[in-house]
Amino acid sequence: MNLLLLNLYLLQIILSEYDPNKAISYAKRWALDRNPRYHDYTGMGDDCANFVSQCLIEAGFSTSGCEGNYGIGETIPMVTNLEKCLVKNGWTKYTSMPSVGIPKGSVIIFNSNQYTALVVQGGTSPLIAGHNCGNDQWMVPANWGTKTYFTYKPPGIIPPFRYVNGYDTSDKNNGYAGDFGKPIIGLKIKSGTYTVHIKDGNWLSAVKNNRIAGNGKPIDGIAIKGGVIYRVHIMGGGWLPAVNGYDFHDDINGYAGILGRAIDAISIKGNTY
């Protein structure tokens, strides 16, 4: 058996109306300028939270019901209130940079609510855009002060499930990865070759070596090369028998899953995932 060291990330479906690409497009247009449709708070302290909330609103984020959304278009001029609104809307808060980085469209708050900016290029060394009392910024490093990170939850976004290394379907802490009732939409393995089948779709092209297999839609089949033993749990059903093949035409041992039934958990023997 060709044993692989597998690092598996399972990405679960979470619905979000916020579109980070639209937020970045808006930031690119107005980071070094002022949109006349909104009030400019530069002469009243700072325009940073007002600008970031503009980016979010223009991208589908709603400030309805949030404290301090008194700006034109329901923007939020104060950083403290923007933080409360992000948390209220389910954004994840990090007091340190996640090991896998942060996605574009996230928000960074600096020095305990003194300043905020939008992440326009993600990763572990993000670039930001913001309004800061005449020192406006576009695509500059976020490399000063203490930072708090707020990430939205689009389909398939980090953070991933934590690593486990067990092979025990009765051990929800270390025996498998997944969340029953929430379909998996992506698979990431550190080394080797693997692919997934999209529910009501097709098998995607195989990927390898830490690339994500998936397109943001529920997965109903998984195939891993190399004789690896693996099994999956069907949403609304149970665990299927283990397989170790890699053959799309072999629905007994060539892949894990039942086409047409979404997968919500996976367990891999002898590997970290």
Q: Where are the domains of the chain?
A: 1-14+155-273, 20-151
Nearest partner of 256 among 247, 192, 4, judged by Cα:
247
Does 3.50.70 match the CATH number of domain 20-151?
no
Q: Examine the pLDDT at 181 and tell me if it is beyond 90.
A: no
Nearest partner of 187 among 218, 229, 151, 165, judged by Cα:
218
Residue 133 pLDDT: 60
pLDDT digit string, tens, across residues 52-104: 999 999 998 888 778 888 777 789 999 999 999 998 888 889 999 988 789 99
Residue 81 pLDDT: 94
Quote the Cα angle for 18-121-14, to 5°: 30
Among 24-33, 150-159, 190-199, which stretch is predicted with the lowest mean pLDDT? 150-159
Do the beta carbons of residue 37 and residue 73 sit within 8 Å?
A: yes
